[in-house]
Amino acid sequence: MRVLVTGGAGYIGSHVVKKLGEQGHIACTFDNLSTGNRWAVLYGDIIVDDLNNMEAIRRTVRAFRPDAVIHFAAAIVVPESVADPLKYYANNTANTLNLLRVLQEEKIGMFIFSSTAAVYGMPEQMPIDELAPLAPINPYGTSKMMTELILRDMAAVNSSFRYVALRYFNVAGADPKAQIGQAYAAATHLITRGLKTAKGFSARLQIFGTDYDTPDGTCIRDYIHVDDLADAHLLALKSLADGRKSDIFNCGYGHGFSVREVVTVIRDVTGIPFLVEETGRRAGDPAQLVADSTKLRKVLGWQPLYDDLSFIVKTAWEWEKKLS
């Protein structure tokens, strides 16, 4: 298939582009390189432009004629979204609308959307299945929820448009061959921050909040290896190509680790007993997010290979050591 990948130079997008290339698809990346890197795009062309530029989207779609679009390009940092909500509504919601307008005009009928567990807010039931109410507690989650609703309404009136929204839990790790990985120096994610601390880039890792209603007081997250998540995209693409209906799937393994448990694994894997500082809560953090991914396994036949936090951290560490 010919697949247009927005954000294909970014962390998750580049892993999906790699898999598309390995499986014989033709990928074209559209990326503004604000957080992505040209070298991370291992297959296909890259168009460097922004989704706020509808003319550029139109030109790209007309020239490439994709069968399907996988849409990663977005801003993704929860605390930043609390501080600068308009950036999130512009980047994640309004820019997606630009893309969808062009896809509607050009009659492109298959769409895969990077959604997030943040659409659930602070869910009462754990693990979370796809029927849990959407109640985001930060602008990041709201910006993604709004896009999901736009997709729902668009598909409802346009039978030749189908989509899959994948709700990612906490994506981590790197390509097991260490060709690509997260390469954003200002990354805020726990595992990346922990590894950078182990490398000596900062004096200590902060733990944001130790008074949550969890067994050890720190937040619990479901960490999923980026390659297993990439597989979910390829399965979603196949399901649409096979004529399946629009759908939504949680992407996680179904069990969580606390921040303290993650710190222990990072120290074990790196062999570096870096310092930790316990500080107050970070704005916008729910106590616990664990996926019920039964639907992804049953309906799309997802069979993850790397459900092992030590392996996830090890691949991220191998990659991190390659960065300067």
Show which residues are catalytic. 140
Complete DSSP assignment for 116-167: EGGGG-S-SSSSB-TTSPP--SSHHHHHHHHHHHHHHHHHHH-TT-EEEEEE
| Tokens 């003319």 belong to residue | 55
Handedness of CA 194, 196, 197, 198 (dihedral sign): positive
Q: Which of 46, 110, 207, 237 binds ligand UFG (CB under 6 A)?
A: 207
Preceding omega of 127 cis (within 30 degrees of 0): yes
Minimal distance, residue 26 CB to ligand UFG, in Å: 28
Is 74 a binder of ligand UFG (CB under 6 A)? no
Q: Which of 40, 128, 132, 190 binds ligand UFG (CB under 6 A)?
A: 190
* Burial group, residue 298, by CB count within 10 angstroms (0-12, 13-18, 19+): exposed
State the DSSP H helix or E strand holding residue 205, giving kind and residue range, or none if neither. Answer: strand 204-208
Is 76 a binder of ligand UFG (CB under 6 A)? yes
Q: Which of 17, 61, 118, 226 binds ligand UFG (CB under 6 A)?
A: 118
List the x/- string, 208-237, binding to ligand UFG by CB under 6 A: x----------x-x----------------
Is 320 a binder of ligand UFG (CB under 6 A)? no
Minimal distance, residue 208 CB to ligand UFG, in Å: 4
| Tokens 């503004």 belong to residue | 32
* Burial group, residue 155, by CB count within 10 angstroms (0-12, 13-18, 19+): middle
Q: Which of 37, 53, 179, 206 binds ligand UFG (CB under 6 A)?
A: 206
Q: Which of 101, 193, 199, 267 binds ligand UFG (CB under 6 A)?
A: 193
d(CA 6, CA 20): 14
Contact between 118 and 78 (Cβ < 8 Å): yes
Q: Which of 128, 154, 166, 289 binds ligand UFG (CB under 6 A)?
A: 289
List the x/- string, 1-30, binding to ligand UFG by CB under 6 A: ------------------------------
Minimal distance, residue 11 CB to ligand UFG, in Å: 10
Whole-Å CA distances, 263 to 9, 99, 117, 186, 307: 28, 39, 22, 19, 17
Residue of minimal Cβ distance to ligand UFG = 219
Q: Which stretch binds ligand UFG (CB under 6 A): 83-91, 174-182, 204-212, 306-314?
A: 204-212
d(CA 95, CA 113): 13
- Kindly tell me which of 54 and 187 has the beta carbon lying closer to ligand UFG: 187
The footprint of ligand UFG on residues 233-272 (CB under 6 A) is 259
Contact residues for ligand UFG, defined by CB under 6 A: 76, 78, 116-118, 169-170, 188-190, 193, 205-208, 219, 221, 259, 282, 285, 289
